[in-house]
Structure 1
Amino acid sequence: MSNCQILSGIQSIKHTFMLPLDHQQPNGPRISVFARELVSPSHSDKALPYLVFFQGGPGFGAVRPVANSGWIKRALQEYRVLLLDQRGTGLSSPVNAVSLSHLDATAQAEYLSHFRADSIIADAEAIRQQLCPGKKWSILGQSFGGFCVLKYLNDAPHGLKEAYITGGIPSLTRRCDEVYQATYQRVQRKNSDFFARFPDAQPLIQNLAQYISTHEVRIATGERLTVEMLQLLGINIGMEQGPEAVYYLLEQALMESDQGLQMNPLFLAHFCQLLDFNTNPIFALLHESIYCQQHASNWAAQRVRGQFEQFNYRADSPFLFTGEMVYPWFFEQFTNLKPLKHAAHLLAEKADWPMLYDVNILARNQVPVAAAIYSEDMFVEMTYSLETAAQVGNLTYWLTSEYEHNGIRMDGERILDKLIALNRRQQLR
């Protein structure tokens, strides 16, 4: 099913595909997967190749364009862009506490086990065979989308003409614990940068942490604000413009009134806007599983945190933000995650996750791949990305310190143009 409309000067066509929940059981239950096709009006009658975009996450719908700008502007010069709402996100069959409420915890965990990169790539291949049968297409992955790109190269390279990755080259072999050991060290460095850049941020956050430790404070979505929850704002300090957003929020957290020191309602509302665990539950449920290959995560971020005691808040020690970590207490404190608590624990204990990558297959890769690796990336370990880049055949990378993790959102036109040029040179060799 599809329909056409004009959005921000871009022709947009909506597609909905009915696909198997489990591609190993094609006659079993089905889900819907949504994709938005974009084409420049000047090219609408041309048979341009497709560029499929894999969003970061997991658990977030594809970007909703509001202007012909950034990487989309560059892509539309020579592609039809397909913005894929990965299964369970956006306008695809939703995953949340409401949609899963008819299942018990065991059935919820079984259902959710089909929402990793392997299933996302099987969806994409099924869509390719419907949209452009017999033709190859190009793919672009940001962050977790880059994990999906590598899975595509692993599982179905015959469907690909070329591939692009920004801020998303994972280790092919390292386990969750190694990933988080590196992650905590990167996050600590970002904390140092943040508090050095904003000298009054430490006393501001210390005063706020002390206040919420001694007062019952409710954020706009109703949950009690805890120090652990406050630390989660750190996920933003690894983004372009994120440190500024966090600092400005802290500036207006507490206010003096006739009743004394009180929380500013503006802070309580804006705080919720900077965290999306309530609205995008797949991230909390499956984030650690993106690293799992025949092993369980067993709440790796929580366990590894024990090696980094400085992240455990104490009033007499510097306050540190955490980063892209998921903790079991999410399912006790966030309202929309509470009903999924038992399923979350079952997924954390699941040890039979299928393998994601075959090092030998990727070493023989023939699909041209160009990747942007950000040396200052808080979310993806640079040394692991370089390690993987050396293991994947036909991969050329651009290592730069110019951007944070969300560089493609801030300067996407330049970044994609650079990567396209890398791939073109690679293909001419």
Structure 2
Amino acid sequence: MIAYPLAIICHRLNNNAYNKVNAMNHPSPQLTFAGMVAQKHHFTLPLDYADPDGAQISIFAREISSPENSAKSLPFIVFFQGGPGFGAVRPAANGGWIKRALKEYRVLLLDQRGTGLSTPVNYACLSHLTSNEQSQYLSHFRADNIIRDAEAIRQQLTDNQKWTILGQSFGGFCVLKYLNDAPQGLAEAYITGGIPSLTRSADEVYQATYKRVLAKNHDFFTRFTDAQCLIKALANHIENNQVLLATGERLTVEMLQLLGINIGMEQGPESVYYLLEQALIDTPTGTQVNPLFLAHFCQLLDFNTNPIFALLHESIYCQQTRSNWAAHRVRQTYSEFNYSSDKPFLFTGEMVYPWFFEQFGNLKPLKQAAEDLAQKSDWPMLYNLETLANNQVPVSAAIYSEDMFVEMQYSLETAARVGNLKYWVTSEYEHNGIRMDGEHILDRLIAINRGEKLR
């Protein structure tokens, strides 16, 4: 029997007669800020829906409306963020896709289980469990249970009214899972930068995305002609000197390559280049790594603070199969990523590697749990092809042709297999397009879904 964290035990479900989950919402008073009215919601839900009276977790959601609409009974649009393992956006102003959404919806920003203000997942919260217990616990944090949480919340918060959903990146996986499992709860659905393959393995996914990462490397080093010299000088320095990050770990070349996750984003290449420009400084005692670089480097890589991504990223592709460190194995066929001083430096992308759990301080205590999850072969099926082929919920999706993280051909394969799905292919945006031009992107997707004339 697993001894679950105190935070979970304190949220045990109190019902004994319900066949459905009682979400037990604990709303807060309304808050007003930056042209929006917000209300916090805390829901107590089962860790394992197969055992609804067992251990409980808390799920946080922030409801946002415009001041002029705050007293109106507008329908909800629920946002599923990228990841897995990251909390929902914390809006500071009424702008972007939220501005467009608030014209006709109340927005619900859901902190997916284990993230944000929901019951957290980190080494400290799991430290009293054995590695086997940790992996069992973490196995409940995929898209299937995220959607079960959302459905339980919908039934309680809306009096069982349908709502609309929007998914970005991994959020697109959640949208398809929602269409697969609970379409009766949906009025419309939107996807940006995240239509996954319904059938392809993690190995196939990484075979495709490594090629996209190579293309983004070529673009980066072509644009910034001195970047290769800058990054090689830094790589050679840290290979020959012990350099400690602001978080205490030794900076390695493998870590340095991880900055490549940013070159697939809007404004990401610029951020990486400007960081490299100030990486090395001359001091009276010789060349050193700039402390400013070491601090900013940690801000661009969040594996220490968001462990779910490293622990479960590959499992989002698994259906009755194990991942077995797919990105690590596939990388062996791309030897150009194995750095040495006599060859060009290349960044990697969003790939997760087993050495994360040896080099990142907050991941080290979860090393065996990560290995157990990588070898887990009984992951439940995610998609029923017949169910999705017969989908009746209107769905529109933005597919970014130059997306480093999502293979366009796989997205098009899926689009052809999901009923009632319309899509817009564009080269105008990178993976995080919704952050950069969200008002326009959501407005266009709404028009596509409703058969309206595009503006």
The alignment status of 1:95 with 2:121, answered yes or no, reads: yes
The alignment status of 1:304 with 2:337, answered yes or no, reads: no
> SS in structure 2 opposite 1:178?
helix
TM-score by length of 2: 0.93
The alignment status of 1:8 with 2:12, answered yes or no, reads: no
Indicate the RMSD between aligned Cα atoms, in angstroms: 0.9
Letter in 2 for 1:214: N
The alignment status of 1:59 with 2:77, answered yes or no, reads: no
Tell me, yes or no, if the aligned pair for 1:376 and 1:401 is still in contact at 8 Å: yes
State the Cα deviation string for residues 41-65 of structure 1 (Å, max 9, x = none): 1001111000000010000000000
**Which residue of structure 2 lines up, in the alignment, with residue 171 of structure 1?**
197
- Report % sequence identity: 74
- In 1, Cα distance between equivalents of 2:377 and 2:206: 18
- In 1, Cα distance between equivalents of 2:421 and 2:221: 37
> SS in structure 2 opposite 1:118?
helix
**Which residue of structure 2 lines up, in the alignment, with residue 253 of structure 1?**
279
The alignment status of 1:150 with 2:164, answered yes or no, reads: no
State the Cα deviation string for residues 269-310 of structure 1 (Å, max 9, x = none): 110010000000000000000000000000000000000000
Letter in 1 for 2:378: D
Residues 393-404 of structure 1 aligned to structure 2 (within 5 Å) = 393-404=419-430
Residues 104-253 of structure 1 aligned to structure 2 (within 5 Å) = 104-253=130-279
- In 2, Cα distance between equivalents of 1:134 and 1:204: 57
> SS in structure 2 opposite 1:84?
strand
Unaligned runs of 5+ in 2: 1-25
Pick aligned residue for 2:104 from 63, 73, 78: 78
State the Cα deviation string for residues 346-395 of structure 1 (Å, max 9, x = none): 00000000000111110000000000000000011100000000000000
> SS in structure 2 opposite 1:2?
coil
Letter in 2 for 1:297: S
**Which residue of structure 1 lines up, in the alignment, with residue 44 of structure 2?**
18
- How far apart are 1:7 and its partner, in Å? 2.2
- How far apart are 1:203 and its partner, in Å? 0.5
Tell me, yes or no, if the aligned pair for 1:53 and 1:139 is still in contact at 8 Å: yes
Tell me, yes or no, if the aligned pair for 1:368 and 1:426 is still in contact at 8 Å: no
**Which residue of structure 1 lines up, in the alignment, with residue 381 of structure 2?**
355
Letter in 1 for 2:37: Q
Greater alpha carbon shift after TM alignment, 255-264 vs 210-219? 255-264
- In 2, Cα distance between equivalents of 1:5 and 1:234: 38
Letter in 1 for 2:47: L
- How far apart are 1:426 and its partner, in Å? 7.9
Pick aligned residue for 1:323 from 340, 349, 355: 349
Tell me, yes or no, if the aligned pair for 1:163 and 1:368 is still in contact at 8 Å: yes
Q: How many residues align?
A: 427
Pick aligned residue for 2:399 from 373, 376, 380: 373
- In 2, Cα distance between equivalents of 1:183 and 1:410: 23
The alignment status of 1:47 with 2:46, answered yes or no, reads: no
- In 2, Cα distance between equivalents of 1:60 and 1:23: 22
The alignment status of 1:69 with 2:95, answered yes or no, reads: yes
- How far apart are 1:259 and its partner, in Å? 1.2
Pick aligned residue for 1:407 from 426, 433, 439: 433
- In 2, Cα distance between equivalents of 1:179 and 1:423: 28
**Which residue of structure 2 lines up, in the alignment, with residue 295 of structure 1?**
321
Tell me, yes or no, if the aligned pair for 1:118 and 1:151 is still in contact at 8 Å: yes
> SS in structure 2 opposite 1:250?
helix
Tell me, yes or no, if the aligned pair for 1:294 and 1:355 is still in contact at 8 Å: yes
Letter in 2 for 1:398: W
Residues 329-348 of structure 1 aligned to structure 2 (within 5 Å) = 329-348=355-374
**Which residue of structure 1 lines up, in the alignment, with residue 22 of structure 2?**
none
- In 1, Cα distance between equivalents of 2:94 and 2:342: 50
- How far apart are 1:134 and its partner, in Å? 2.7
Letter in 1 for 2:132: T
> SS in structure 1 opposite 2:451?
helix
- In 2, Cα distance between equivalents of 1:8 and 1:105: 44
- In 2, Cα distance between equivalents of 1:316 and 1:94: 44
Tell me, yes or no, if the aligned pair for 1:330 and 1:337 is still in contact at 8 Å: yes
- How far apart are 1:9 and its partner, in Å? 1.7
TM-score by length of 1: 0.99
State the Cα deviation string for residues 237-260 of structure 1 (Å, max 9, x = none): 000000000000000000112112
- In 1, Cα distance between equivalents of 2:70 and 2:183: 28
